[in-house]
């Protein structure tokens, strides 16, 4: 099967809130999320042949959870010329409380 750029889809806030609440219940005190600015996301997506973004889980040198992002092409292959991290983790940069982070 090949990627065509339509993978993934919208879910309701209630579904997302339930998923993130369960994650927080199973992982108390862990990172809740990560923020990536639009510039790096657009840079990944603007690569020729990019169909979307693949996100890998990782652990940094302080043993904290991280996300590593790469583009993926129609053949489902990683496009490793541009790899992103350096996100803004939550906590500490979570914004105000909402159904997804509290």
Percent of the chain with pLDDT over 70: 100
pLDDT value, residue 4:
93
pLDDT value, residue 23:
95
pLDDT value, residue 26:
96
Q: What Rg, from alpha-carbon coordinates, does the chain have? A: 15
Mean pLDDT of the chain: 94
Q: What size, in residues, is the chain?
A: 102
Q: Are strands 78-84 and 65-73 parallel, antiparallel or unpaired?
A: antiparallel
Interatomic CA distance for residues 86 and 75, integer angstroms: 27
- What is the three-class DSSP state of 95? coil
pLDDT tens profile 62-99: 988 899 999 999 999 999 999 999 899 898 899 999 99
What is the average per-residue pLDDT within 44-52? Answer: 98
- What is the three-class DSSP state of 37? coil
pLDDT value, residue 92:
86
Q: Are strands 88-90 and 50-59 parallel, antiparallel or unpaired?
A: unpaired
Which tokens sit at 61? 């040198």
Residue carrying structure tokens 């990536």:
36
């Amino acid at each position: 099967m090949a990627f065509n750029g339509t993978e993934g889809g919208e879910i309701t806030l209630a579904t997302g809130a339930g998923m993130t609440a369960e994650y927080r219940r199973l992982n108390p005190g862990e990172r809740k999320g990560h923020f990536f600015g639009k510039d790096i996301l657009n840079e990944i997506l603007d690569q020729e042949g990019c169909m979307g973004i693949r996100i890998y889980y990782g652990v940094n040198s302080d043993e904290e959870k991280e996300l590593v992002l790469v583009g993926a092409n129609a053949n489902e292959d990683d496009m490793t010329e541009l790899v992103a991290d350096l996100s803004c983790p939550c906590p500490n940069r979570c914004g105000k409380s909402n159904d997804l982070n509290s």
